[in-house]
Amino acid sequence: MTIQLGQIAPDFEQDTTTGRISFHDWLGDSWGILFSHPKDYTPVCTTELAEAARLKPEWDKRNVKVIGLSVDPADSHQGWEKDIEETQGQAVNFPVLADADRKVSDLYGMVHPEADPTITVRSVFVIDPNKKVRLIMTYPPSTGRNFAEIVRVVDSLQLTDAHKVATPVNWTDGQPVIIVPSLSDADAKARFPNGWKTLKPYLRVVDQPPLPR
């Protein structure tokens, strides 16, 4: 199955390290990050799961729930989590899907036969509270993910959902943003009473409005 931006994230029931979940019910009104791992006891994934767990205060601040996935069973995950805590100094504090039957992997297109039909690629799905898929990233098995970029994208999505702005290249929280072209100057004056800088009629730069928290 091919997942596309804007579609409703497929729902499923599956076992995890913290018990069986129904995905949409588990998400509730939170944002979600679903990310997959080729298999248990792999070196790059060991560092990634620890980093995702280490970022829990940032996820909580943004109303984000994180869930991992590997095609191994739950008891294997639990053994691996002990290694993660031992080697990375951080316990895993979110559920990891036990997708031994590949139900979720196939549903989300996480197995790429041309890469390796026996493992999942490093997929990332950011899902909003309406259960819509807002971001998809796919990394090769050899390359660890940049979680600072995932946090940055969540900030951008939440900011641009709340205000009529877009975020420019390399934007991070606190930097100027762009007024969307669909907003007229008259309407922009009401939204941004302190004004903005017009570089071109279609390129209006304004101080960042507050992030919704």
> What number of CA atoms fall less than 13 Å from residue 167's CA on the CB side?
20
Q: Tell me the CA distances in angstroms from 66 to 129, 163, 180, one per residue in order.
A: 13, 25, 30
Catalytic one of 45, 50, 98, 124 = 45
- Cβ proximity of 134 and 128 under 8 Å: yes
Active site residue 93: no
52 close to 84: Cβ distance less than 8 angstroms: no
Look at strands 177-179 and 133-139 and give their pairing. unpaired
Measured CA to CA, the distance from residue 69 to residue 120 in angstroms comes to: 9
- What residues are annotated to the active site? 45
